[in-house]
Amino acid sequence: MSAEDLEKYETEQELTLYREYRDVVGIFKYVVETDRRFYLCNSVDVKARTEAGEVFFEVTINDAWVWDMYRPARFAKSVKVLTFKDVNVEELATSDLELPK
């Protein structure tokens, strides 16, 4: 496989991932961003912990979709993340306009 083929493959994977994100974002309440991953989820709990003078975050995420083009299954029932870096949690705005079903 040439470098050009690999680049084309990765570009196609990223586009597929973006399209999937666009399709599922409306069913989630929160966006969670850690230093390693980006999640969409419906439940998130962040706790600051201290051990041996070091502060870290314990993040529990339920009913999640993971932004990762190398994962074959991006939906996860439960995720636990331990990190010493920042965690960003945003509540997604719900649209006032409901489309007819």
List pLDDT tens digits, range 46-61: 999 999 999 999 999 9
Query: Is the pTM value of this prediction over 0.95?
Result: no
Distance (Å, whole) CA 46 – CA 63: 15
Average pLDDT value over all residues in the chain = 91
- Are 41 and 62 contacting, i.e. CB atoms less than 8 angstroms apart? yes
Structure-token pair, residue 68: 């990762």
Alpha-carbon distances of 84 from 55, 70, 90, rounded to whole Å: 7, 24, 19
Top-confidence residue, 33 or 72? 33
Coil, strand or helix at 47? strand
